[in-house]
Amino acid sequence: MAERTADVQAHWTRRGVLARIDAVLTELGHDPQNLTPEILATVDHLHSGGLATTRDQAERITLTPKSRVLDIGCGIGGPARYLAHRYSCRVEGIDLTPELIETGQVLTERCGLANRVVLRRTETRQCARSTLC
């Protein structure tokens, strides 16, 4: 399992992710220190379909402020922030890639959503023992 974790990390790790996001946001006329999930939507939904797919999937279930969501493979946390912002629910995101989690934590703080979104790194051996993964 350690080999698989290393493969995933090697595939997804791109040094300087936060700096590149900040540069793009600045170029688009945004203050990278004061963000909303809407501002980040073009750069932080790393799955196919982007924000449109996140919205579509969220509309298929009933989310309320009492809901708790687990986002497995959360990357930098775009969908987690969208759900927390749109539905006022709590979201925990897990991912294998340290830089993506670190970037996501900074972006979550900048959006003022740290009280509803927690992103953390996990390892495959943790998932193997968990009924959540």
Domain CATH code at residue 63: 3.40.50.150
Report the largest interatomic distance among the alpha carbons of the chain, rounded to a whole angstrom: 45
Task: Give the residue numbers spanning the domain of 9.
Answer: 2-129
pLDDT in tens, 21-67: 999 999 999 999 999 999 998 888 777 788 888 999 999 999 999 99
* pLDDT given for residue 133 in this prediction: 46
Assign residue 31 a region: left if phi > 0, alpha if psi is -120 to 50, beta otherwise?
beta
Total domains, the chain: 1
Reading the block at residue 21, the tokens are 């996001």
pTM of the complete model = 0.81
Amino acid at 101: I
